[in-house]
């Protein structure tokens, strides 16, 4: 399966790129083709250090959606619920019928997350309404975050 990886990057050390790379390696080891978000490449911090978060989103998110449109699924990293960019990606995925996959437990290790993530991908059968409910949960979480500000 061709998978797009989604998860938190903003305000995390190294933009969380080591976690994206780890998940990519595990998924490729399981036989999948993996696409990283355009922001997950070397030099991201250096190039965008002078930009506001909003400017970075404006530059990167259109490419995220374009890359996602070419995939068959979205593999989510731990902490995806707190990511505004991932919320947008999931909304788009839901609109076009691309399934989203998660691990079971944000409290476990990244290795454990990947074990469950891979098992969920391998066991995938379309579940009507699942992605819609997931996208709604992300929108509700984003709305609550905005209200808290």
> What's the pLDDT score for residue 88?
87
Whether 148 has a pLDDT exceeding 70, the answer reads no
For residue range 29-41, list pLDDT tens digits in order. 999 999 987 655 5
Domains delineated in the chain? 2-148 (3.40.50.10400)
pLDDT over 70, % of the chain: 72
Give the rounded distance of the alpha carbon of 96 from its chain centre: 16
> What's the pLDDT score for residue 105?
64
Classify burial at 148, counting beta carbons within 10 Å of its beta carbon; exposed 0-12, middle 13-18, buried 19 or more: exposed
- Quick one: average pLDDT of 65-85? 88
The structure tokens listed for 85 are: 């960019």
Helices 110-122, 17-29: crossing angle, 10 deg rounding: 40
> What's the pLDDT score for residue 129?
56
Q: Say what the pTM is.
A: 0.74
> What's the pLDDT score for residue 28?
96
Model confidence band, residue 149 (pLDDT cutoffs 50, 70, 90): very low
For residue range 94-125, list pLDDT tens digits in order. 888 899 998 876 668 889 888 988 998 998 87
Spell out the long-range contacts of 40-48 with Cβ–Cβ below 8 A and sequence spacing 24 or more.
Answer: 40/5, 40/9, 40/15, 40/16, 41/17, 44/15, 44/17, 45/14, 45/15
């Amino acid at each position: 399966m061709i998978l797009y990886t989604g998860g938190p990057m903003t305000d995390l050390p190294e933009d969380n790129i080591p976690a994206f790379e780890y998940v990519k390696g595990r998924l490729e080891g399981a036989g999948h083709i993996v696409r990283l978000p355009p922001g997950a490449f070397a030099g991201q911090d250096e190039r965008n250090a002078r930009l506001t978060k909003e400017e970075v989103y404006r530059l990167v998110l259109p490419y995220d959606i374009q890359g996602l449109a070419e995939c068959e699924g979205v593999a989510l990293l731990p902490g995806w619920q707190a990511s505004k960019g991932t919320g947008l990606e999931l909304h788009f995925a839901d609109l076009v019928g691309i399934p989203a996959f998660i691990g079971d437990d944000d409290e476990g290790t990244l290795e454990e997350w990947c074990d469950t993530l891979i098992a969920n991908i391998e066991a995938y059968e379309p579940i009507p309404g699942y992605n819609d409910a997931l996208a709604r949960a992300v929108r509700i979480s984003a709305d609550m975050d905005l209200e808290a500000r």
